[in-house]
Chains A and B, each alone.
Chain A
């Protein structure tokens, strides 16, 4: 089955800096890669996603890139703000059962 690895596990940046989180997946048949932001005790919130037919997608300060050949995808946050502090999860979707397999999460801390 699918396996998703995520790095780093923790990331501390200064406000205004950029943050990059990377994920790799194992199943070349996976075709949907969402990113979720989860605040303590809350549900995961979809912040951006990318499908296998595109290589990059951007939404204001957030961007995601996908390299299907290398089977990795990355989240880029520019001009970070303290409110960006949370745990971020990447995921890959199984094409058959459509279940999401999550990475282990990255705790992002943005200091003022």
Chain B
């Protein structure tokens, strides 16, 4: 397997402030990283695709100015929730793609960040 570390695991912030979430691949270089959002008892909804050194590709309906993604290296991607509001409260999970040989890749997930905006 491979290890993906996401930090923080929980964060509570005041409405109007910004929160940064880090996603690191600890023992491999990720070809691509993805950010998901998961509401209670629902599936993982892809927010954006992040590639090192280039702008993130956002899914339809995701505000790129609100959810800022920076992919500084092959092992680190960050998601910043700007001017957070209570409706941004959710479980955010990142995943990192690892090359598995023969043209295939596998996805490994971070432990997730539970964001609560009060």
Q: Residues on A close to B: CB < 8 A?
A: 32, 34, 36, 41-46, 49, 51, 89, 93, 97-105, 107
A97 to B31, CA, bound (A): 11
In the complex, how many residue pairs between chain A and chain B have their CB atoms under 8 Å apart? 52
Measured between beta carbons, the chain B residues less than 8 angstroms from A105 are 42-43
The chain A residue sitting closest to B109, CB to CB, is A43
In this complex, the interface size class of chain B, counting residues with CB under 8 Å from chain A, is 20 to 34
A49 and B106: CB pair below 8 A? yes
A98 and B43: CB pair below 8 A? no
Known: A32-B104, A99-B49. A89 touches B44 (CB 8 A): yes
A102 and B44: CB pair below 8 A? yes
B43 and A99: CB pair below 8 A? no
For residue B68, CB closer than 8 A to chain A, the reply is no
